[in-house]
A and B are shown apart, each in its own frame.
Chain A
Amino acid sequence: DAGVTQSPTHLIKTRGQHVTLRCSPISGHKSVSWYQQVLGQGPQFIFQYYEKEERGRGNFPDRFSARQFPNYSSELNVNALLLGDSALYLCASSLLWGPEETQYFGPGTRLLVL
């Protein structure tokens, strides 16, 4: 069975541009979460979606937005990119929503903002 997939794997953008990152969860999983991991730090929670509804939002500016589609795949959008947005963006899926759910992570999208 395929795990969580993310695209693209790598991306280079310049300041002020917009970026869209994509995630496909494990088949049957209904919850998707997004994390940002800056070099040398642990992942920081950005968004969580369950059944196409936002269930949680981390401490990130409004430049960050996301959505979940009827097939449970998800997009993370970042507008007006800043140098500090350079990071590994991780998507994770879980079967359901809740603190007992194990999250399965994708390989990430590495974003570099110049």
Chain B
Amino acid sequence: SQQGEEDPQALSIQEGENATMNCSYKTSINNLQWYRQNSGRGLVHLILIRSNEREKHSGRLRVTLDTSKKSSSLLITASRAADTASYFCALSGNTPLVFGKGTRLSVIA
């Protein structure tokens, strides 16, 4: 299936620690996007990384993409309680976005 799979399903860390989430997929992609969702509300776009890029930064976010391993990781540095949310990777190819099941991140103050 084209769906990405996030790992872990849930992650709990202390405020100030780094959080790393991974996404694996099976098909070829044009790009991979990461989204955040707070408490079952709308999704917020975080970052897009193209298939010819290996790493991208945005503020406290760092995304890597390894197309040979068909995997991506999202690193949130110096986490805050406000980072508590579900994080989804979404694959973009010849079809509209395909989302995984997400990683639920809890940041404890």
CA–CA, A33 and B50, complex, Å = 21
| Contact (Cβ within 8 A) B40 A43 | no
CA–CA, A39 and B86, complex, Å = 12
Given the interface contacts A99-B30, A100-B30, does A45 sit within 8 Å of B44 by beta carbon?
no
Kindly state whether residue A84 has any CB partner on chain B within 8 Å: no
A42, A88, A104, most chain B CB atoms within 10 A? A42
Please report the number of residue pairs spanning A and B whose Cβ atoms sit closer than 8 angstroms: 59
Q: List A contacts of B42 (CB < 8 A).
A: 4, 90, 105-108
Given the interface contacts A43-B43, A90-B42, does A48 sit within 8 Å of B96 by beta carbon?
yes
Q: List A contacts of B97 (CB < 8 A).
A: 33, 43, 45, 103
| Contact (Cβ within 8 A) A99 B99 | no
| Contact (Cβ within 8 A) B93 A99 | yes
Docked complex: B17-56 residues within 8 A CB-CB of A: 30-31, 33, 35, 40-45, 48, 50
- Residues of B in contact with A (beta carbons under 8 Å apart): 3, 30-31, 33, 35, 40-45, 48, 50, 88, 92-102
